[in-house]
């Protein structure tokens, strides 16, 4: 009897640990706060026209939050190809350098509610 109660208590605690935030709003706010810590990556792009050389700096964020309703959580994604600048190497110093439409991403944070 005591063994089964201790197993039930342990299972309850494990399930309870996964529920980090009591509401969806609080989970979204925590994810937004995590996004605010993202310094991003600045890339300077150069373009040459007939008369002169132009420079432009673009900032790219390396973190993103997405709501996953099925599992009741916000997922915190990290984009390593943006962080290490490898997307820029493919378009080296071209005026129209852009992050690919579907860059590689990894889930690094879970904000469950």
47 in a domain, yes or no?
A: yes
Give the number of domains in the chain: 1
Asked if the structure places residue 6 within a domain, the reply is no
Give me the residues of the chain with pLDDT under 70, please.
Answer: 1-19, 45-50, 85-101
**Closest alpha carbon to 41 in 6, 84, 4:** 84
25 falls within a domain = yes
- Pair 60, 89: CB distance under 8 Å: no
0.75 surpassed by pTM:
no
User: The domain containing residue 58 runs over which residues?
Assistant: 21-112
Alpha helices (H) along 1-113: 2-18, 24-36, 80-83, 86-90
| Residue-level pLDDT at 18 | 53
pLDDT in tens, 45-76: 666 666 777 777 777 889 999 999 999 999 99
């Amino acid at each position: 009897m005591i063994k089964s109660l201790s197993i039930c208590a342990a299972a309850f605690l494990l399930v309870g640990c996964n529920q980090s935030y009591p509401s969806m709003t609080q989970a979204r706010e925590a994810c937004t706060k995590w996004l605010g810590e993202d310094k991003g990556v600045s890339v300077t792009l150069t373009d040459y026209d007939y008369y002169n050389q132009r420079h432009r700096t673009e900032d790219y964020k390396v973190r993103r939050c997405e709501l996953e309703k099925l599992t009741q959580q916000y997922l915190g994604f990290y984009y390593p190809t943006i962080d290490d600048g490898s997307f820029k190497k493919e378009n080296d110093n071209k005026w129209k350098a852009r992050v690919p439409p579907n860059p590689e991403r990894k889930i690094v944070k879970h904000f469950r509610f």
